[in-house]
Amino acid sequence: MGEATGRLRKRLTATETDLGVVRQKALVVGTGAGTTCAEDAQASLEELVLLADTAGADAVASELQRRPTPDSATYIGKGKAEEIRELAEALDVDLVIFDDELSPAQQRNLETLFERDVVDRVALILDIFAQHAVSQEGMLQVELAQLRYRLPRLRGRGITLSQQGAGIATRGPGETQLEVDRRRIQRRITKLEHDLVRLGKTRATQRKSRKKSGMKTVALVGYTNAGKSTLLNRLTRADVLVEDRLFSTLDPAIRRLRFSGGTTVLCSDTVGFVRRLPHQLVEAFRSTLEQVAEADLVVHLVDSGSSDIDAQYDAVRMVLREIGADELPSILVFTKSDTTDPETVADLLRSNPESLMLSAKSGDGVAEFTEHLEECLRVQEEVLEIRVPYDRGDLLAALYREGEVLVEVHDEEGTRLRVRLPVSIANRYREIATSVLPG
């Protein structure tokens, strides 16, 4: 009992902030699962170190063991697990973080062997999301994902908490504490799902209202820490939090972006993606990610200075496919050009001739990007010339509400308009248009 209490006291002390004591010390372990080569496995392990830093732990050492298949009991094998135990004791770490998802049995066996907390990649990302969720919907989404993750990992707390046993007043039907916990969590999951459905309807109503206004929407997507929030701040003078950490912003931000020509669009900053983003999070955040699927244009931001650009690009495209947004019109933009060497910049632009390069921090290339963005949105529009009779004030009001009136001339028969409309809306007025021009 004293030994266990000492371990608990050490963990509690290590989790205090700088106002108290120090951050947690962690040992990170990877096996290369889900990767195709040693370089990918090493890159994934380095990303785990950054995730640990964001969560509030300092990775004091890392271990990488390439295995074709995981061990069913300890994931890394009995011999390697013993080596990790000795290293964890020598470094006096508070927890061991694995770069893969562990089964409940594997996590329990490793915690017993290490006598330390064991956290896998999924739990680590969920913890980061829990720290950064601010809005009501974001907090509910994170809690739902955490409960779905924890439900199969519940463990009973012993016979003393059970209503079943041998002796007087213990015979007959009853249930274990484990079953009680499972039922409580399942009830909480059901309530969270209902609450998110309600909030999802509110968000859908807001999206519908924005659609009615005729205002186009642009979604900024990309790998976490690719510079989405910095670019949003640069474009719209927003005040979105910017930090050089993974998942520094979680709740989506929507701001108005006014082009030099006077046109206004809505620009949204979404949650960053990451390799092997936990499925629980994709499901829980589906209502939030729907705004990406309903955007008129997707801007895919990629960190030009990353050593693993292809893997990060593929990770984002995978999530976009999962939410049905991979077929939307998109622009590929490489960011952080101010910190990338010129040869790399030239190679990226040569390999991706339709892409753009910019630095949201310094402003280099932002003006060219804004012009290109406006042009891409104009391609999705048409200019119609329509004659509106004087007794059709309702039609005139609808054209002003749904489009941008460029020219208005009055004659004996009515009002002649030249109006720019989204293609989807222009189709409704095509029959009464006197001419159709490209947007």
CATH code assigned at 34: 3.40.50.11060
Both tokens of residue 241? 């939090």
Which pLDDT tens digit goes with each residue over 53-102?
Answer: 888 889 999 988 877 788 889 998 899 999 999 999 999 999 999 988 88
HSE, CB side, 13 Å, CA atoms: give it for residue 333: 28
From CA 55, how far away is CA 127, in angstroms rounded?
7
Tally the residues of the chain.
439
Compute the Cα dihedral for 49, 53, 56, 57 and give only its sign: positive
Q: How many other CB atoms are found less than 10 A from the CB of residue 1?
A: 5
* Residues 347, 274 share a domain: yes
Sheet holding 297-303, edge to edge: 253-258, 264-269, 217-222, 297-303, 330-335, 356-357
Which pLDDT tens digit goes with each residue over 192-233?
Answer: 988 888 887 877 777 676 666 667 889 999 888 888 888 988
Residue with tokens 């799902």: 193
Which pLDDT tens digit goes with each residue over 354-384?
Answer: 999 999 889 899 999 999 998 888 877 788 8
Both tokens of residue 25? 């010390």
Angle subtended by helix axes 38-55 and 121-132, to nearest 10: 40
Domain boundary among 95, 119, 143: 119
* CA 166 to chain centroid: 51
* Residues 386, 371 share a domain: no
* Residues 221, 91 share a domain: no
Does residue 167 lie in a domain region? no
* pLDDT band at residue 25 using 50, 70 and 90 as cut-offs: very high
* Residues 254, 114 share a domain: no
Tally of domains within the chain = 3
Return the higher-pLDDT residue of 121 and 156. 121
The CATH number of whichever domain residue 304 belongs to comes to 3.40.50.300
Which pLDDT tens digit goes with each residue over 319-340?
Answer: 888 888 888 889 999 999 988 8
Residue pair 40/32 in contact (Cβ under 8 Å)? The answer is: yes
What is the SS3 assignment for 249? coil
Mean model confidence pLDDT for the chain: 79
* Residues 395, 295 share a domain: no
The CATH number of whichever domain residue 422 belongs to comes to 3.30.70
Q: What is the pLDDT of residue 21?
A: 43
* Residues 385, 372 share a domain: no
Phi, psi of 138 (to 5 degrees): -60, -45
Domain boundary among 119, 154, 175: 119
Q: What is the pLDDT of residue 34?
A: 62
Does residue 98 lie in a domain region? yes
Q: What is the pLDDT of residue 199?
A: 81
Burial of 49 (0-12, 13-18, 19+ CB in 10 A): middle
Does residue 79 lie in a domain region? yes
Does residue 283 lie in a domain region? yes
From CA 376, how far away is CA 381, in angstroms rounded?
9
From CA 356, how far away is CA 302, in angstroms rounded?
10
* Residues 365, 270 share a domain: yes
Q: What is the pLDDT of residue 150?
A: 86
From CA 29, how far away is CA 31, in angstroms rounded?
7
* Residues 427, 342 share a domain: no
pTM: 0.71
Residue pair 61/27 in contact (Cβ under 8 Å)? The answer is: yes
- Domain holding 372, by residue range, is 211-378
From CA 325, how far away is CA 320, in angstroms rounded?
5
From CA 34, how far away is CA 41, in angstroms rounded?
8
| Largest Cα span, the chain | 101
DSSP state of 368: H
Residue with tokens 């079943």: 164
Both tokens of residue 61? 């050492």
Does residue 402 lie in a domain region? yes
- Ramachandran assignment for 297, one of left (phi > 0), alpha (psi -120 to 50 degrees), beta (any other): beta
pLDDT of 7 above 50: no
Does residue 109 lie in a domain region? yes
* Residues 389, 372 share a domain: no
* CA 277 to chain centroid: 8
- Smallest CA-to-CA distance from 236 within 220, 213, 212, 214 is with 220
For residue 99, CA distances in Å to 35, 43, 54, 121, 123 come to 11, 11, 15, 5, 10
Both tokens of residue 277? 């983003």
Q: What is the pLDDT of residue 35?
A: 65
Does residue 316 lie in a domain region? yes
pLDDT of 158 above 60: no
Q: How many other CB atoms are found less than 10 A from the CB of residue 388?
A: 21
Q: What is the pLDDT of residue 20?
A: 47
From CA 358, how far away is CA 14, in angstroms rounded?
41
* Residues 373, 385 share a domain: no
Domain boundary among 102, 119, 136: 119
Which pLDDT tens digit goes with each residue over 240-279?
Answer: 555 555 555 556 678 888 887 777 888 888 777 777 777 6
From CA 368, how far away is CA 397, in angstroms rounded?
35
* Residues 370, 229 share a domain: yes
Q: What percent of the chain has pLDDT over 90?
A: 18
Phi, psi of 38 (to 5 degrees): -65, -35
* Residues 350, 242 share a domain: yes
Does residue 149 lie in a domain region? no
Cβ-based neighbours of 111, under 8 Å, separated by 6 or more: 117, 118
Q: What percent of the chain has pLDDT over 70?
A: 80
Q: What is the pLDDT of residue 439?
A: 55
